[in-house]
Structure 1
Amino acid sequence: MNASALLHLLQFSSPSLPIGAYSYSQGLEAALESGLVRDEASARGWIVEALHQVVARFEGPVLWRLLQAFDRVDTDAVQLWTERFLAARDTAEFRAETVQMGYSLGKLLAELKLPRPELLALLQTMPEVPLPTALACAAVALDVPHDAALLGMLFSWAENQVLVCVKSVPLGQVAGQRLLLSLRPAIEEAAHTAQTLADDELSNWSPGLSLLSMRHEVQYSRLYRS
């Protein structure tokens, strides 16, 4: 990867990207409330399980397909995988999360006036834009290699989960960095899985996570929006 593409990837994988990712825990806060996550070991177990069973088998593969669709400027494919991703959000919080961040990123892309305006025009034709669709548009417009963009998304997801644990378990900063470093093999494996699954192998079947998300919607005390 050339320096320009790497810098673009770092920018759009950064937790300082103003799309509100820090305000979501993706079900982790409910797991903390129920006692499923309570220390460094259980935090790592939760993150690895979610990475392999959900992100690597659905979010990652959908992003991978959207990257290819934007690269071909294939309107039908972009719309297909956007609609499938939105349909797969099985709780109100999970759907609101991806739509809010996708909208925020899409608005940011328009204000930054990125190259390849035809890609932004394609993005703007859709009534609702989930986060993977906006991320794919940004990566292709900035010539970020597909495999690097996928790794960037997976790392960003993992980093956000670790930050939730640092603030809410709570874990110390060193423990958080140790946890994040230990996730490297799992992130690499998740990227490989996301690139190799066939369409009929994609699945976000995770009833336990769905139930926790629904419980979080009525949880008495919350720091996060999901």
Structure 2
Amino acid sequence: MDITTMNDAVVLCQTLRLASPALPIGAYSYSQGLETAVAKGWVVDESTARDWIEGLLRLAIARLDLPLLVRLRRALATHDHARLVFWSHYLRASREARELADEDRMLGAGLLRLLGDDSWAQQACAADVPPSLPLGFAAAGLAWGLPEQAALTAYAWSWLENQVAAAMKTIPLGQSAGQRLLSGALEPLARAVTCAPGIADDDLGALAPGFAIACAHHETQYTRLFRS
């Protein structure tokens, strides 16, 4: 095996590692409002689950999380601390429910702890930079030698797989339905990853009010499978 082929294999393995549900940060324990959407009857079957998940992928992940991951990664890569602080606080302010903000902070902090004393993680852990999952993915992507698009793909796939798993548990859906949901979301996911670096600052922002309402209601939902 030549060096280039081996390096490509390592990058692929690191991308799969970052996207894996086995990554020990606890992402599997959150439904991001989906549990409430099921409880309220907004999501009741495979079709409505597809509408919910793909809608969030287009209107939230593609318009906020992924382009901000790009900005955070580039700020880290160029050691631009001012922009790192600015975009980290921008992301924090964009989380519309306490549940979303707390999840983002805890998952991001968990991923940065996993990176240990890596120099990218140390830069991301500066006292005035609030931790977030996009920041953790930005640091992990740099630490593990991933190209920007690979880190974006890992983030989007990780989110998608967690949402489908939550739908399978709460609706519930079978494994074949889960695979159909994943297959159907491949094209919008690829489009989101491809377009994220080109989204202008003025075009940033999620537009999913029902999602924000569901996350806020989930904080006080009487019975829950997922963490609030």
TM-score, shorter chain, exceeding 0.5: yes
Total equivalences in the alignment: 221
Match in the other structure for 1:140: 142
Q: CA deviation at 1:181?
A: 1.5
Match of 1:224 among 212, 223, 226: 226
Match in the other structure for 2:99: 93
Match in the other structure for 2:4: none
Q: CA deviation at 1:161?
A: 0.4
Percent sequence identity is 39
Instruction: Using structure 2 for the length normalisation, give the TM-score.
Output: 0.93
Q: CA deviation at 1:192?
A: 2.5
Distance in 1, Cα, partners of 2:122 & 2:110: 16
Distance in 2, Cα, partners of 1:183 & 1:205: 19
Q: CA deviation at 1:179?
A: 1.4
Query: Which runs of no fewer than 5 residues in structure 2 stay unpaired?
Result: 1-6
Query: Which runs of no fewer than 5 residues in structure 1 stay unpaired?
Result: none
Query: Alpha-carbon deviations, 1:37-94, whole Å to 9, x = none?
Result: 1111111111110110111000111011112222212222211111111111121100
Question: In the alignment, is the contact (CA less than 8 A) between 1:64 and 1:146 conserved in 2?
Answer: yes
Match in the other structure for 1:204: 206
Question: In the alignment, is the contact (CA less than 8 A) between 2:149 and 2:194 conserved in 1?
Answer: no
Question: In the alignment, is the contact (CA less than 8 A) between 2:65 and 2:134 conserved in 1?
Answer: yes
Question: In the alignment, is the contact (CA less than 8 A) between 1:63 and 1:136 conserved in 2?
Answer: yes
Match in the other structure for 2:89: 83
Match in the other structure for 2:176: 174
- After TM superposition, which residue ranges in structure 1, 4 or more long, deviate above 4 angstroms? none
Kindly report the root-mean-square deviation, in angstroms, between the aligned alpha carbons of the 2 structures.
1.3
Is the partner of 1:2 in helix, strand or coil? helix
Match of 2:69 among 33, 45, 63: 63
Whether 2:79 is the aligned partner of 1:73: answer yes
Q: CA deviation at 1:147?
A: 0.8
Distance in 2, Cα, partners of 1:162 & 1:34: 18
Distance in 1, Cα, partners of 2:144 & 2:215: 34
Distance in 2, Cα, partners of 1:146 & 1:51: 19
Supply the AA of the counterpart residue of 1:91.
A
Distance in 2, Cα, partners of 1:176 & 1:24: 17
